[in-house]
Amino acid sequence: MPSLFGRLMPRSQSFSTAFTSLAENTHEGSAVFVEMVEKYDGAEGYVNRIKEIEHAGDNMTHALLTHLNQTFITPFDREDIYMLAGRVDDVLDLIDAAARAFVTYRIARVRQGVVDLAKVLHQATGKVVAAVHVLGKQDHILDHCIEINRLENEGDRLSRKLIAELFDEEKDPVQIIKWKEIIETIETAVDKCEDVANVIETITLKNA
Amino acid sequence: MPSLFGRLMPRSQSFSTAFTSLAENTHEGSAVFVEMVEKYDGAEGYVNRIKEIEHAGDNMTHALLTHLNQTFITPFDREDIYMLAGRVDDVLDLIDAAARAFVTYRIARVRQGVVDLAKVLHQATGKVVAAVHVLGKQDHILDHCIEINRLENEGDRLSRKLIAELFDEEKDPVQIIKWKEIIETIETAVDKCEDVANVIETITLKNA
Amino acid sequence: MPSLFGRLMPRSQSFSTAFTSLAENTHEGSAVFVEMVEKYDGAEGYVNRIKEIEHAGDNMTHALLTHLNQTFITPFDREDIYMLAGRVDDVLDLIDAAARAFVTYRIARVRQGVVDLAKVLHQATGKVVAAVHVLGKQDHILDHCIEINRLENEGDRLSRKLIAELFDEEKDPVQIIKWKEIIETIETAVDKCEDVANVIETITLKNA
């Protein structure tokens, strides 16, 4: 239990550290996912590792929000902290969902181009780490956000191409259903990185 | 039109009552849905009953938000009240969507396991009622939230199993499309109960 | 850079103008979409026009949010301005997604009834323009919101009918997958107009 003084003081430091850990955890999840689709051997082991990372993320988010609710003065607007934690968590949830779909759907081999899409996601989570790391410090933060937006466009373009190829090449409707969902889930994870960037941008502009 | 004095006073009572009614209405919707999939005879009658419950819920939500917008001092943060009403309403919308899909897709018989998933949803809405009922009173409220989280995990596990079985057993892609949507809609309704629990937890911690 | 005095003064005018432009831009997007599905000749040209409108919308939203973050006193609650801009942008994103699906899926001819659904969307975006135009002025604003709700119900009813017909008439599962997504995307765009109406209603009641 912190002293009253401790509870009233801005805790820029502790929130920044907590967000950096949260973002790094999500980035680790996307790294494991890239490895899974690249090697594609023993998907279940990778899925279990991502599941553990996701549980760790849940605990970090929970601790951060509990801290937030017990802190009187916060370095950034309370809603923005809440929103930022939620959006970083969303990315990891989608990585977990994408990975598990490979097991649920008993995917035998990974379609051409899906590894590239996973790599775009991994680049985006890397930029989320970079942006969160300098949160409130203004240094290059908007550059990171612009780069996340660029990666989101790249992910959008690539997933659209993969979906078009899927419908052109695949004749089995069941395979179409499976892969459409997997591709869209990865793409939505990249999208959510842009949502993170938008919250970071809002926090940065408010504190300018 | 309440007096100025009435408008300025905290209305903990009226908000609690309104939220309890809203949660009970959603719980009634899930009860009718369980009955529908268990008996599975005359789905349209059940769908109409759920539609009526959903309309009643819309009216309750509308009245609650109008009251909120006219109240100067609120017992909990305004955004949290707004959020809580919205999330409870989301659950009912999804129950309505799941029920209607059975009619739209002319479902002849209910797949194995779907009744169990509907029952998990019903247990979750029951816990939402219990949690909302003690809102602001702290008694056991976090226990209810933990139980909702447990039910969400249970719903997640069960729906994943049902989807895997669907793809393993069903050869007709059109049946896969229909059931995949129904199962996912029920599971999303359970998910949204967890969103309700998260808002309740936030309100509880803020007022601790 | 505005003077300190300028930054501190309420900017009802500039926010109203910005929102009207944003809503008109979305309405233009839905007009191009209706034309595209009505004529259905050279979908790619229409998709490119909608993409340009969407980019223009992104820039408008960005400028509005930057202005918001630099303005000390705002005519409406900051969160509501943020929310309203986001929701109007969501509608346009979905129009863009619906239009692009026709190209991705190499749709040869437009199914019966889809033009009607697009027209309901266009009516709804028209009412969004009307409501945003009188934002903060109270004149008939709730009438516009009620009309948007009516159109959302109409869109819901129509899309449900189209989906039922799709499953009854279409035997090719791949066509079902394609059209189900297109119809649902248009319907979600109409839904999002209702979300806009809900934010407008909240702003109006708060300022009553």
| Nearest residue on chain C to A163, alpha-carbon basis | C104
Backbone angles phi, psi at A77, to 5 degrees: -60, 135
Per DSSP, which regions of chain B are E strands?
A: none
Give the integer Cα–Cα distance in Å for A69 and B200: 12
Give the integer Cα–Cα distance in Å for A90 and A96: 10
- Report which residue type is found at C160: R
Total length of chain B: 208
> Alpha-carbon Rg of chain A, whole angstroms?
18
pLDDT at C12: 54
pLDDT tens digits, residue range A172-197? 999 999 999 999 999 999 999 999 99
Per-residue CA distances from C199 to A91, B64, C82, C136, C203 (Å)? 27, 15, 10, 12, 6
Residue C8 has pLDDT above 50, yes or no: no
pLDDT at B29: 98
Of the partner residues A66, A100, A106, the one whose CB lies closest to the CB of residue B205: A66
pLDDT at A68: 82
| Nearest residue on chain A to C104, alpha-carbon basis | A164
The model's pTM: 0.90
Structure-token pair, residue A124: 């985006």
Backbone angles phi, psi at C134, to 5 degrees: -105, 20
Interface pTM, i.e. ipTM:
0.87
pLDDT tens digits, residue range A108-119? 999 999 999 999
- Report which residue type is found at C42: G
pLDDT at B3: 44
Give the integer Cα–Cα distance in Å for A34 and A119: 6
Give percent of chain B above pLDDT 90: 69
Please check whether residue C88 is in contact with residue C196, taking contact to mean a CB–CB distance below 8 angstroms. Answer: yes
Q: How far is B61 from chain C (nearest CA, A)?
A: 12
pLDDT at A10: 45
pLDDT tens digits, residue range C44-68? 999 999 999 999 999 999 888 888 8
Please check whether residue C166 is in contact with residue C183, taking contact to mean a CB–CB distance below 8 angstroms. Answer: yes
Q: Residue A105: list chain B partners with CB under 8 A.
A: 167
Please check whether residue B144 is in contact with residue B131, taking contact to mean a CB–CB distance below 8 angstroms. Answer: yes
> What average pLDDT score do residues B138-150 get?
87
Query: Binning pLDDT at 50, 70 and 90, where does residue B202 land?
Result: confident
Which one is predicted more confidently, A45 or A1? A45
Q: Chain C interface, mutation test: which of B68, B104, B105, most C Cβ atoms within 10 Å?
A: B104
Which one is predicted more confidently, C9 or A65? A65
Interface of C with B (CB under 8 A): 79, 160, 163-164, 167-168, 173, 176-177, 180, 202, 205-206, 208
Specify the DSSP element, H or E, that contains A192.
Answer: helix A173-206
Give the integer Cα–Cα distance in Å for C208 and C195: 20
Q: How far is A80 from chain C (nearest CA, A)?
A: 11
